[in-house]
Amino acid sequence: MAAARLTNREVAGILDEIADLLEIKGENSFRVRSYRTGAETVGHHAQSVVEMVERGEPLQSLDGIGSGIAAKIREIVETGDCTYHRELLVEVPQGLLELLRLPGLGPRGVATLWRKLGIRSAEDLEAAIADGRFRSLPGMKEKKEARLLKGLQQRRQLKSRFLLPVAEEAAEKLRPHLLAAGASEVHAAGSFRRSRETIGDLDLIAVGGDAQTLADAFVGHPDVREVLGHGAEKSSVVLASGLQVDLRHSEPDSIGAALQYFTGSKAHNVALRERALKRGLKLNEYGLFKAETDPEERVAGRSEEEIYAALGLGYVPPELREDRGELEAAEARTLPVLVARQDLRGDLHSHTTESDGRDSLEAMVAAARDAGLDYLAVTEHSRRVPSPVNRTGMDEARCLAHIRRVRAFEQSTPGFRVLAGIEVDILEDGRLDMDAEVLAQLDVVVASIHSHMDMQRQAMTDRLLRAFENPRFQIWGHPLARILSRRPEISLDAERVLREAARRGIALEINGSPDRLDLPEPLLRSAREMGARFTVSSDSHSVREFVHLRYGVGQARRGGLVPDDVLNTRPAEALLAALRH
């Protein structure tokens, strides 16, 4: 079997892991940072580094890539790994890498656990907490122990889950492979199509062609690590990423039924099948049939729309198929017309090299225009968030210079608005990390929590309520400050805080970064019922990340949001008028 062609994300992942291993070893920060920078450059580069290596192009032409890291990238591209990475894994147990993702444990803490207690994995850490050894170490107190236990619990829940880009990347690799093998269409279904925050596996449906030929091509793809099942109707594999992918075959007359069936959710499908039975019909992955009079006669199946129509229902978008009242709404024809990606006119959260972004103001604006947007808010961090270039985020002087720079640059972008913004930190006591007079000169103020995320529920609630009192607080950025599978959400009285944000006209950000997708869907629904307003933002740190808007829209759709709920579906002037002042 041919070796799999690596993606930029996969090459960057190995460089990032080298940096993690070096941190645990206690290597100097400059060396660690060089690998971090290399990973960021590769992961966000527009061209494939594999193709660059194959063409013999010098990798040193990329920002932050020196000769040493360039040589390792070439080795990774050619062999799938590099000797240095393997040598580090001999020195440092790989299980320690997972501990770095737990809240409250940095590289020094992980190294201490390893050297003092012999902990080599999450399971070892759980045992050390259970028998009391953990608290024998300096600095390992009850509060930290509680945070780690919560993180370990979430780890168990999410261990086999994957972020949406992993599934999307797999589908993009497999689709052309199956089309070349004779399929006329290839669709992704399951929880991925429902835009769930994470997925357990990926369901693909191939239409037309010869089922066995498609199955053979599928299991023979170079990215397949393990074949779990191989048959004409269904084949299952595990890819190099660890993601399981199931392939099913459908004929054109049944593709609507297959999509409906394999998209789910299970609860939605059960309710739909029960509705069919009450009408003397049978619904399965092949179609909707007359169960009582002629079981072979197909009533519907070519499209999902005709299946729902035949059952007396309006079409239910995939994101709403969770058996939460959507069938009743579909029958009453009261389902919302959900917000769509093309409804977004602008993006209100982005970063350039002035803070922790990887591309210039000029490049980010050009990429936003290419993404079909009419305006972009450039929201650099305030002083509390480190910047690779400036060491810290913006103070008042730099913020004023930022405003002047953005205003001047906007003069060179006719037909496109560039808004001067900030992502200002919400400090521990609820103050915003920038003088009010400076905040008043900005177009867009996003306020977010980046520190002291382990505060107790009441203290965190009070912190946010105090912050909301600042009249310049316009948008609450990534509200729960979570990072999926790595950092739990902050603890707060969500109902009280969301209700107060809605009352004050503070917009709630739906952060489209795939490892955030924050706010979560249940809170979106609650906040909408409270009358809250929302923005969908990419939180782009590079020109390649405006695609995050797509994930943010998926989250908004799961929450039942319509275009009027989302402020940045409005033209720039209407948006600015709608923001809290």
Q: End-to-end distance of the chain based on CA atoms, in angstroms?
A: 61
Helix axes 396-410, 361-370, angle to 10 degrees: 50
Give the per-residue pLDDT at 159.
61
158, pLDDT greater than 80: no
C-alpha torsion angle, residues 421, 422, 423, 424 (rounded to 10): -140
Q: Give the CATH class of 255-332.
A: alpha beta
Q: What is the pLDDT of residues 300-323, one digit of tens each?
A: 999 999 999 999 999 999 999 999
Is 176 buried (19+), middle (13-18) or exposed (0-12) by CB count in 10 A?
Answer: exposed
pLDDT band at residue 28, thresholds of 50, 70 and 90? confident
If you average pLDDT over residues 166-193, what whole number do you get?
A: 96
Give the per-residue pLDDT at 132.
86
Give the per-residue pLDDT at 388.
66
Extents of the domains making up the chain? 8-158, 162-250, 255-332, 341-578
Of 162-166, 383-387, 475-479, which gets the smallest average pLDDT? 383-387
Give the containing element (helix H, strand E) for 422: strand 417-425
pLDDT band at residue 48, thresholds of 50, 70 and 90? confident
pLDDT band at residue 3, thresholds of 50, 70 and 90? very low
Give the per-residue pLDDT at 107.
81
Q: What percent of the chain has pLDDT over 70?
A: 97
Q: What is the pLDDT of residues 182-236, one digit of tens each?
A: 999 999 999 999 999 999 999 999 999 999 999 999 999 999 999 999 999 999 9
**What token pair was written down for 267?**
């609860």
pLDDT band at residue 156, thresholds of 50, 70 and 90? low
CATH 1.10.1040.10 fits 8-158, yes or no: no
Q: What is the pLDDT of residues 7-20, one digit of tens each?
A: 888 898 899 999 98
Q: What is the pLDDT of residues 376-416, one digit of tens each?
A: 999 999 988 776 666 778 999 999 999 999 999 999 999 99
If you average pLDDT over residues 34-51, what whole number do you get?
A: 85
Give the containing element (helix H, strand E) for 198: strand 198-199
Of 125-139, 259-273, 544-558, which gets the smallest average pLDDT? 125-139
Q: Which among 186, 201, 294, 295 has a CA at the least distance from the CA of 249? A: 186
Q: Which residue has the higher pLDDT, 524 or 97?
A: 524
Q: Which among 381, 365, 418 has a CA at the least distance from the CA of 546? A: 365
139, pLDDT greater than 60: yes
Q: What is the pLDDT of residues 493-517, one digit of tens each?
A: 999 999 999 999 999 999 999 999 9
CATH 3.30.460.10 fits 162-250, yes or no: yes
Give the per-residue pLDDT at 168.
95
Burial 434-470 (b: 16+ CB within 10 A, else e): beeebbeebbbbbbbbbeebbbeeeebbbbbbebbeb
* DSSP code string of 483-496: BTTTBPPPP--HHH
Classify 208 in phi/psi space as left (phi over 0), alpha (psi -120 to 50) or beta: left
Q: Which among 21, 17, 74, 9 has a CA at the least distance from the CA of 45? A: 9
Give the per-residue pLDDT at 147.
77
244 Cβ contact partners less than 8 Å away, ≥ 6 residues apart: 200, 201, 202, 228, 236, 237, 238
Give the per-residue pLDDT at 9.
82
**What token pair was written down for 170?**
């797999």
pLDDT band at residue 439, thresholds of 50, 70 and 90? very high
79 Cβ contact partners less than 8 Å away, ≥ 6 residues apart: none
564, pLDDT greater than 60: yes
**How far is 191 from 250, CA to CA, in rounded Å?**
19
pTM, entire model: 0.81
As a whole number, the mean pLDDT across the chain is: 92
Contact 123, 155 (CB under 8 A): no
**How far is 393 from 119, CA to CA, in rounded Å?**
36
pLDDT band at residue 538, thresholds of 50, 70 and 90? very high
97, pLDDT greater than 90: no
Helix axes 122-130, 142-158, angle to 10 degrees: 140
Order across the sheet with 287-290: list the strands.
281-284, 287-290, 294-300
Give the per-residue pLDDT at 2.
42
Q: At the topology level of CATH, where does 341-578 sit?
A: TIM Barrel (3.20.20)
